[in-house]
Amino acid sequence: MSTALPIDHRVGYLDAAAQARLLQAIQAVVAEAPLFVPRMPRTGRQFSVRMTNCGPLGWLADKQGGYRYEPVHPETGKPWPPIPQMLLDIWEDVGGGAPPEACLINYYGQGAKMGLHQDRDEEDFSAPIVSVSLGDTGLFRVGGKTRKAPTQRYELASGDVLVMRGESRLAYHGIDRIVPGSSDLLPEGGRINITMRRVHKPD
Ligand code: MD5
Ligand code: FE
């Protein structure tokens, strides 16, 4: 019997007031580091998700350079803003260990999705990935360590936190779609997902 790798899904981790405070902090990051549209390496095809980052390193993707971490925004050339304290507190509360080096902010508008993939652009897979969802519910699919392993669906609602560590750190996963109108946190609708990561091994 094989089933999808279990993940640590903390439903309702942030209450409504905490979600609103986190949204404000994210809006301040986006004001300094505007959302950009990443592109697939080689094909140059655009992601349907828009992204930005905070923290010492940010994840990005473009046609020429591939998937990678960089210390500056690809369009402004400025360093990424610092990670909001609220997010660092969540990382610590869930037992993240050495502080996150990268914090990726994904914005899913209506119709945006993310295909099944593994997160392997980091050198340190022993550290967890901690993800926080805000806004409309995302239909999340998680499988196993191969692309063909069976998958399981989770509904990621506003205020939910996921902690991926151990085996699930390298599980295939993706967002099939968002559920329009499932939250009124974001006036314009859509979904924000925030992921905090270690990139390098701590000294
Ligand atoms: C999202 N983001 O909802 C997701 C949340 C990404 C991405 O996938 O790469 O930006 S992170 C979900 C995740 C990461 C690593 C492992 C697992 C899930 N997992 O094993 O389930 O925008
Ligand atoms: Fe991912």
- In order along its 203 residues, the chain shows pLDDT tens digits of 568 888 999 999 999 999 999 999 999 999 999 999 999 999 999 999 999 999 999 999 999 999 999 999 999 999 999 999 999 999 999 999 999 999 999 999 999 999 999 999 999 999 999 999 999 999 999 999 999 999 999 999 999 999 999 999 999 999 999 999 999 999 999 999 999 999 999 98
pLDDT at res. 2: 60
Report pLDDT digits (tens) over 67-76.
999 999 999 9
**Using CA of residue 53, residue 29, residue 37, residue 179, what is the dihedral sign?**
positive
- 54 Cα to the center of ligand 1, angstroms: 17
- At the fourth CATH level, the homologous superfamily of domain 8-197 is Alpha-ketoglutarate-dependent dioxygenase AlkB-like (2.60.120.590)
- Look at residues 13, 8, 6, 19 and name the one whose alpha carbon lies nearest to residue 136: 19
How far is residue 150's CA from residue 165's CA, in Å, rounded to a whole number? 19
Which residue's alpha carbon is nearest to atom 8 within ligand 1?
174
> Is the ipTM above a cut-off of 0.90?
yes
pLDDT at res. 4: 87
How far is residue 177's CA from residue 155's CA, in Å, rounded to a whole number? 10
- Look at residues 183, 192, 190, 189 and name the one whose alpha carbon lies nearest to residue 27: 192
- 9 Cα to the center of ligand 1, angstroms: 12
Q: Domain locations in the chain? A: 8-197
Which of 131, 133, 136, when mutated, tests ligand 1's pocket best, judged by the most ligand atoms within 8 Å of its CB? Answer: 131
Which of 162, 175, 176, when mutated, tests ligand 1's pocket best, judged by the most ligand atoms within 8 Å of its CB? Answer: 162
- Look at residues 5, 17, 42 and name the one whose alpha carbon lies nearest to residue 159: 17
